[in-house]
């Protein structure tokens, strides 16, 4: 019988951890799988370690390491031939692992990720952002990459590509997915059943901060050469977006406010195209308006993250001579 190791990295997640681990336990028991819960902890001070232990998880004390390293530590300690990675604020459905077992039984794919959605309590910008992801993955399909918020794969694929890249601050899931795909693995996304994401942003500052963090490893990925032309589109679009803003500001300084307004309006076009890309958004005008604003903000944040990343890489480059 297959055994699944459920790996849940944590850092001060006591508010979510009980829900996450209990749901994972129920999913494993529902489909009759042998399982273990492994919680690599990044130095929590809110009682997360004790809580995880009380729920039957094996806790690994791993302070001060990256999220990629946390996941790798969990995989190294795992005994299962299947690995299931979960973020500590995810609530999986009862048939989560049943779906994974069916995918493997029918040989549909080698890696599985489910779409996650927000609970009703989430503010509008958090709900809209997660609905955007759901709209992009509204049909079962093989994908270039899947997030590790919930990710199931066979252990041998993880070991074949060497696990997560611990040099990356973030985007480690995209990097792992690209390497899995390059090694021949098939990555399947299923829109149902869905996973509840309780880690929604409670304020604008948190939303902007998380988006800056998410985009902060784009420059590292570019330097690795692991990003193809398709994955380059958004960083380049974000850089172009800032160029348009700079041009609008220049026109304003040169005493041409009408031209500046026209250039500024042009800067909304990429956000509009991204918003209307999916019919799901066109059928819901309020959601489309929300996403228009969020895409526009996201491109500004991504441009800042790319610039900071490039500056960081330049500063770390060894001098010659």
Q: Mark whether 190 and 60 lie in a shared domain.
A: yes
pTM: 0.79
Return d(Cα 127, Cα 172) in angstroms, integer: 24
Q: Mark whether 197 and 232 lie in a shared domain.
A: no
Q: Mark whether 33 and 167 lie in a shared domain.
A: yes
Give pLDDT tens digits along the chain (321 positions): 689 999 999 999 999 999 999 999 999 999 999 999 999 999 999 999 999 999 999 999 999 999 999 999 999 999 999 999 999 999 999 999 999 999 999 999 999 999 999 898 899 888 888 887 777 788 899 999 898 899 999 999 999 999 999 988 777 888 999 999 999 999 999 999 999 999 888 888 888 887 777 776 665 666 655 555 555 667 777 878 888 999 999 999 999 999 999 999 998 988 888 888 766 666 678 888 888 998 898 888 887 777 776 666 566 655 444
Torsion angles phi and psi, residue 318, rounded to 5: -65, 140
CB atoms within 10 A of CB 140: 12
Q: Mark whether 234 and 190 lie in a shared domain.
A: no
CATH of the domain at 52: 3.90.550.10
Return d(Cα 88, Cα 71) in angstroms, integer: 12
Which range of residues forms the domain containing residue 265?
221-316
Return d(Cα 15, Cα 12) in angstroms, integer: 8
Q: Mark whether 118 and 48 lie in a shared domain.
A: yes
Asked, for residue 106, whether it belongs to a domain, the answer is yes
pLDDT of residue 221: 61
**DSSP per-residue codes, 100-115:** HHHHHHTT--SEEEEE
Asked, for residue 73, whether it belongs to a domain, the answer is yes
Q: How many domains would you assign to the chain?
A: 2
Asked, for residue 209, whether it belongs to a domain, the answer is no
Return d(Cα 193, Cα 208) in angstroms, integer: 29
pLDDT of residue 315: 63
pLDDT of residue 205: 84
Asked, for residue 77, whether it belongs to a domain, the answer is yes
pLDDT of residue 232: 62
């Amino acid at each position: 019988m297959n055994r699944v190791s459920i790996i849940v990295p944590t850092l001060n997640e006591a508010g979510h951890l009980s829900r996450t681990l209990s749901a994972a336990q129920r999913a494993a028991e529902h489909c009759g799988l042998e399982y273990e819960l492994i919680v690599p902890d990044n130095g929590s001070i809110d009682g997360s370690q004790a809580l995880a232990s009380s729920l039957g998880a094996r806790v690994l004390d791993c302070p001060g390491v990256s999220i990629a390293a946390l996941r790798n530590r969990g995989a190294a300690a795992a005994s299962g031939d299947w690995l299931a990675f979960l973020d500590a604020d995810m609530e999986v459905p009862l048939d989560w692992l049943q779906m994974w077992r069916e995918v493997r039984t029918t040989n549909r794919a080698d890696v599985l990720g489910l779409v996650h959605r927000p609970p009703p309590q989430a503010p509008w910008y958090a709900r809209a952002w997660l609905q955007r992801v759901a709209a992009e993955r509204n049909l079962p399909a093989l994908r270039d990459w899947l997030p590790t918020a919930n990710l199931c794969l066979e252990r041998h694929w993880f070991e074949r590509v060497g696990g997560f890249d611990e040099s990356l601050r973030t985007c480690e899931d995209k990097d792992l997915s690209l390497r899995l795909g390059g090694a021949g693995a098939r990555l399947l996304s299923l829109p149902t059943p869905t996973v509840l994401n309780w880690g929604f942003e409670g304020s604008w500052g948190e939303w902007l901060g998380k988006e800056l963090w998410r985009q902060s490893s784009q420059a590292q990925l570019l330097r690795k050469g692991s990003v193809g032309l398709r994955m380059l589109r958004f960083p380049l679009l974000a850089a172009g977006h800032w160029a348009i803003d700079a041009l609008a500001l220049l026109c304003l300084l040169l005493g041409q406010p009408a031209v500046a307004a026209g250039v500024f309006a042009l800067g909304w076009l990429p956000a509009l195209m991204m918003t209307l890309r999916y019919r799901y958004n066109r059928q819901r005008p309020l959601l489309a308006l929300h996403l228009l604003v969020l895409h526009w903000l996201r491109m500004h944040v991504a441009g800042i993250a790319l610039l900071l990343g490039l500056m960081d890489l330049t500063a770390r480059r060894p001098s010659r001579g």
